[in-house]
Amino acid sequence: MGSALTETPVWRELLKHQETLASAGALSDLILSDPERLGYPELALDGIRLNLAFHRMTPKTIELLIKLAQQQKVEDKRAQLFRGDKINVTENRAVLHTALRQKGNQPLMVDGRDILQDVKAARQQMKNFVGDVREGRWKGATGQPIRHIVNIGIGGSDLGPRLAVGALASDAADLKVHFVANVDAFDLLSTLQSLDPAQTLFVIVSKTFTTQETLLNATTARQWLTGKLGEKAVAQHFVAVSANTGEVQKFGIDAERIFPMWDWVGGRFSLWSTVGLGIALAIGMENFERMLDGAAAMDEHFRTAPLAQNMPVILALLGVWYRNFWDMQAQAILPYSERLRDLPRYLQQLEMESNGKSVTCDGKPVDYETAPIIFGECGSVGQHSFHQWLHQGSDIVASDFIGVVQDDLRQPEHHQALLANMVAQAGALAFGQTKATAPSDIYVGNRPSTILLLDQLDPYRFGMLLALYEHKVFTQGVIWNINSFDQPGVELGKRMARNLERQDKAQDRAGAFLTDFWHKIGSVNKK
């Protein structure tokens, strides 16, 4: 027997509707037979446009998908999110990344505390520090200003800031922000080799301050620094972002050098918090706040726009449509902007760590698919690698093309080529080429895509873009009735690695097998 969700009339109607659409013809017929397609339906907000011309859908599709969203109580759940209800049920936590960009002075209480006051104080602390570092008032141990920031963190404490700095920082900036995430020492050592410790500041970002990779990298970085400048230099060259002040202080960073984090912000939703310190150092506090404003505009849209005109809701529903009703296993993220090169990796964590779940909020196994595989690459680079698979592979997947209308115009012919390639790819995927002399030259087409256009890639539009995807992920989690805000699936591997490193006595046959295997592959420090 199916679950409550797959047994509902609207789910069945969607299945029937899919069959009707699939047998009515290809996507190309759907597009070319519809005189309204070119302008329809395009959702727009403050310089971001979501164009749905290349989708396998009709007005009926949207109508049914909206019914599904209503049935799953997306509007109620959305109100709970913004209100600070403890919707992260497994960890009994509120989910309030939206509070980090909230306007106004209305208090927002979590466990009897107005968290907006905490946010305000932390923002002021960031502002002072960013101003001091960027304007050269913050001196290193030898009296020199800071020229290099090394952000040490992993997952949500790395991917968002890394993406934002890549997208928004100027190449010509005096202050460079570097990112180190991997426990592979090559990552840290290759970053440090060109840096002068006297001009380098480390930002250790870890909400829990227990993450092995980050702590090892931070310890090695401290050895590198103190080896050259002495123990006392740690005070001027290390700051931390964390919710675990006790552990940070044990590491040797004083309380006044700690930027607070809170358990109501999930790691993958945290770049808006003090976790964004590296971003603010790279682009300045004013630009950081513009990014928050953009996200706030998207929050307001998500909170108030009717479901059928709601960009995150529509994006989410189309994802559900392809995943659950067309059996598509993956979703390609294709930013046609070099500055958005880290977007696919960022969305991989956002979507797959959030919605890669097989148990509902009530603890029951799901009998429908949840998050697809998210993968991607910058256009036009990806065209020369995996787009062959997108066009002619045996699997069909939907793609998100993300283009910037007014981007790097120093060489207009490059920009024209970039956008022409983007549109051509969406067209080739949709229309294909069915008349060809050789079978290998046939493109079946029929592959849908979303075209997301940003007027400009500025902090405001960038903030909107990320908030759009955050709310998409939330909405899908609601439809699938899963908790998008925990990540229990990452724990087992961490525990096994710890046991191996400590060379603990194996507790079971699997542990014994892993220990033997680990010794077999070599390079193990024997106790």
- In angstroms, what is the minimal distance from the CB of 334 to ligand F6P? 24
Given a contact cutoff of 8 angstroms between Cβ atoms, the answer to whether 400 and 454 are in contact is no
Instruction: Tell which residue, 261, 253, 243, has the closest CA to residue 201.
Output: 253
If binding is defined by CB under 6 A, does position 487 make contact with ligand F6P? yes
- In angstroms, what is the minimal distance from the CB of 149 to ligand F6P? 17
**Is 494 annotated as catalytic?**
yes
Of 84, 140, 145, 156, the one binding ligand F6P by CB under 6 A: 156
| Contacting residues for 210 by C-beta, under 8 A, at least 6 apart | 244, 247
- In angstroms, what is the minimal distance from the CB of 33 to ligand F6P? 46
Cis? peptide before 380, omega within 30° of 0: yes
- In angstroms, what is the minimal distance from the CB of 6 to ligand F6P? 29
If binding is defined by CB under 6 A, does position 211 make contact with ligand F6P? yes
Catalytic-labelled residue, pool 36, 135, 256, 384: 384
If binding is defined by CB under 6 A, does position 420 make contact with ligand F6P? no
Q: Two tokens at 138?
A: 């913050």
Of 337 and 484, nearer to ligand F6P (C-beta) is 484
Residue 306, number of CB atoms within 10 A of its CB = 9
Of 265 and 430, nearer to ligand F6P (C-beta) is 265
Of 405 and 490, nearer to ligand F6P (C-beta) is 490
If binding is defined by CB under 6 A, does position 214 make contact with ligand F6P? yes
If binding is defined by CB under 6 A, does position 399 make contact with ligand F6P? no
Q: Two tokens at 329?
A: 């296993």
User: What span, in angstroms and rounded, lies between the C-alpha atoms of 61 and 85?
Assistant: 32
- In angstroms, what is the minimal distance from the CB of 158 to ligand F6P? 8
Q: Is 455 exposed, middle or buried (0-12, 13-18, 19+ CB in 10 A)?
A: middle
Given a contact cutoff of 8 angstroms between Cβ atoms, the answer to whether 333 and 347 are in contact is yes
- In angstroms, what is the minimal distance from the CB of 153 to ligand F6P? 6
Region 314-353 residues binding ligand F6P, contact defined as CB under 6 A: 353
What letter represents residue 269's amino acid?
F
Distance of CA 330 to the CA centre of its chain: 16
Q: Two tokens at 349?
A: 């964590």
Catalytic-labelled residue, pool 213, 289, 351, 353: 353
Of 157, 200, 236, 449, the one binding ligand F6P by CB under 6 A: 157
Distance of CA 179 to the CA centre of its chain: 16
Of 72, 200, 206, 476, the one binding ligand F6P by CB under 6 A: 206
User: What span, in angstroms and rounded, lies between the C-alpha atoms of 213 and 501?
Assistant: 13
Instruction: Tell which residue, 407, 387, 405, 406, has the closest CA to residue 397.
Output: 387
**Is 353 annotated as catalytic?**
yes
User: What span, in angstroms and rounded, lies between the C-alpha atoms of 133 and 373?
Assistant: 40
What are the E-state strand segments in 156-304?
Answer: 176-180, 200-205, 238-242, 258-260
Q: Residues of 219-237 as b/e, b for ≥16 C-beta within 10 angstroms?
A: ebbbebbbeebeeebbebb
**Is 471 annotated as catalytic?**
no
Residue 195, number of CB atoms within 10 A of its CB = 16
SS3 328: coil
Distance of CA 16 to the CA centre of its chain: 33
User: What span, in angstroms and rounded, lies between the C-alpha atoms of 360 and 32?
Assistant: 40
- Near ligand F6P by CB under 6 A, which window of 205-213, 288-296, 306-314, 398-406? 205-213
- Near ligand F6P by CB under 6 A, which window of 91-99, 150-158, 166-174, 285-293? 150-158
If binding is defined by CB under 6 A, does position 154 make contact with ligand F6P? yes
- Near ligand F6P by CB under 6 A, which window of 58-66, 112-120, 153-161, 336-344? 153-161
- In angstroms, what is the minimal distance from the CB of 494 to ligand F6P? 7
Q: Is 92 exposed, middle or buried (0-12, 13-18, 19+ CB in 10 A)?
A: exposed
If binding is defined by CB under 6 A, does position 490 make contact with ligand F6P? yes
Of 115 and 261, nearer to ligand F6P (C-beta) is 261
If binding is defined by CB under 6 A, does position 268 make contact with ligand F6P? yes
If binding is defined by CB under 6 A, does position 483 make contact with ligand F6P? no
Residue linked to tokens 């069945």: 12
Region 428-457 residues binding ligand F6P, contact defined as CB under 6 A: none
If binding is defined by CB under 6 A, does position 207 make contact with ligand F6P? yes
Of 162 and 207, nearer to ligand F6P (C-beta) is 207
- In angstroms, what is the minimal distance from the CB of 309 to ligand F6P? 32
Of 44 and 490, nearer to ligand F6P (C-beta) is 490
Give the number of residues in contact with ligand F6P, rule: CB under 6 A: 14
- Catalytic center residues: 353, 384, 494
Binding site for ligand F6P (CB under 6 A): 154-157, 206-208, 211, 214, 267-268, 353, 487, 490
